[in-house]
Amino acid sequence: MRYYSLNQQSPKVSFKEATIQGQAPDKGLYFPEEIPVLPEAFFEKINEYSKEEIAYKVIAPYVGNTIPENELRRIIAETINFDFPLININGQISSLELFQGPTLAFKDVGARFMSRCLGYFVKGNDKKVTVLVATSGDTGGAVANGFYDVDGVDVVILYPSGKVSSVQELQLTTLGKNISALEINGTFDDCQQMVKQAFADSSLTTNLFLTSANSINVARWLPQQFYYLFALQQWADKNNPPVICVPSGNFGNICAGLLAHRSGMPVSHFIAACNANAIVPEFMQTGEYNPKKAVATISNAMDVGNPSNFVRVLELFHKEFNSLKNVLSSYSISDEETRRTISDVYTKYHYLLDPHGAVGYAALQKYFGAIQNSLSRVGGFILETAHPVKFYDVVETVIHQKVPVPSSIESLLHKEKHSTKMNADYTQLKDYLLSKK
């Protein structure tokens, strides 16, 4: 498998090269030259396969010969060694709980897979690798955990000051060792722009072995297909494929789901659930893409004004707007609707959503309301992307109860945050990175 830059100005590369580089030299995102199609029999007999075998069949064509089969199977086994339960909420809507991993967020799958792939690729390399990543919330903790204490790898995480939850901040600022956190006086989009500038700066990249762990990196993006297949395995009504609603910020997660669909996975429809940062919902209405400055919401991991991965979504559909609309709808959910949804679902069904899951639930309800006269039997699931405890300061004020604290978080609450404060200024970031060389 080869990968090409969506900017079309860089040479094609292998999975290994795409993983190490993160972003193409022409600043484009890498995209697979072919979309592997899995046979119908695979989906018909999906309940006969283990999670590890499903994941291997999905990812092996993308990895190609860059990692031996035994190593790839080991990486997969370590990546998905926790549960991905599909929990029924109300008979029509279920929740795919993606918070059973070490940092209680869906990002654990991509971060664990990528860290292990990169660890394999740089083994024996005499030059230290610097992983540079921007986070709007959960990416930072997942990447920090995935790369913590990995030989030959330093991790530098940029996050917007005051715009991640207190638990998210502790997860990325308390590890130490090879993990450094930069607290940026700005938005996630500022952080992301600084990271992109770093990769495009040849005077920096000739001095540092630099790679990214954002979902722009194919090794972070591609394995997110796994849990869509794990959900299908648990989906009871195989004759009626699910509607899948994905809380969406940078659009890597839903893009992975759409990729799985292109590979043959049966899905009725996809919903991109957004908060007040409604760039994609507006695009789906008008056909015009207008990035905006991100606004802060209580579903902070989705506070993105210019989603990097949406260009990949468009590429999947050959930039044909009508083809995309046939498969994808998108809704914007306000903070008020988010709070009301958390309260209603908890009161009626005794299921506790985090703010991002609540955005997904509200969007899926809107979609079902819009199609109720056209489809007699339809069901679906949301991706519950993080444990509610990560947003206890929001959730507890809504349900007027304490959120049970998992032991992994309990130990965090007594740790001291360590971060380096910095303005949204690329020159400061460059000086910092060179000082660590």
Residues that are catalytic: 107
Tokens standing for residue 400: 């007027």
Compute CA 369 distance to the chain's CA centroid, rounded to the nearest angstrom: 27
- At what angle are helices 69-79 and 51-63 packed, to 10 degrees? 130
87 forms bridges with which residues in the sheet?
95
**In this structure, are residues 363 and 331 in contact, taking their beta carbons and an 8 Å threshold?**
yes
What does the alpha-carbon distance between residue 342 and residue 353 come to, in Å, rounded to a whole number? 6
Return the exposure string of 394-408: e unless at least 16 CB atoms fall within 10 Å of the residue's CB, then b. Answer: bbeebbeeebeeeee
Q: Tokens 């559909």: give the residue.
A: 317
Burial bucket for residue 122 (CB in 10 Å: 0-12, 13-18, 19+):
buried
List, as one string, the DSSP characters of 351-374: ----HHHHHHHHHHHHHHHHHTTT
Q: Reading across the β-sheet that carries 380-384, which strands appear in turn? A: 86-88, 93-97, 380-384, 243-247, 269-274, 328-332
What does the alpha-carbon distance between residue 341 and residue 331 come to, in Å, rounded to a whole number? 15
247 forms bridges with which residues in the sheet?
273
Tokens standing for residue 332: 């914007």
104 forms bridges with which residues in the sheet?
none
Tokens standing for residue 378: 């339809």
- CA-to-CA separations, 246 to 317, 337, 352, in angstroms, rounded: 18, 17, 17
Alpha-carbon radius of gyration of the chain: 20
Backbone φ, ψ for residue 329 (5° rounding): -120, 165
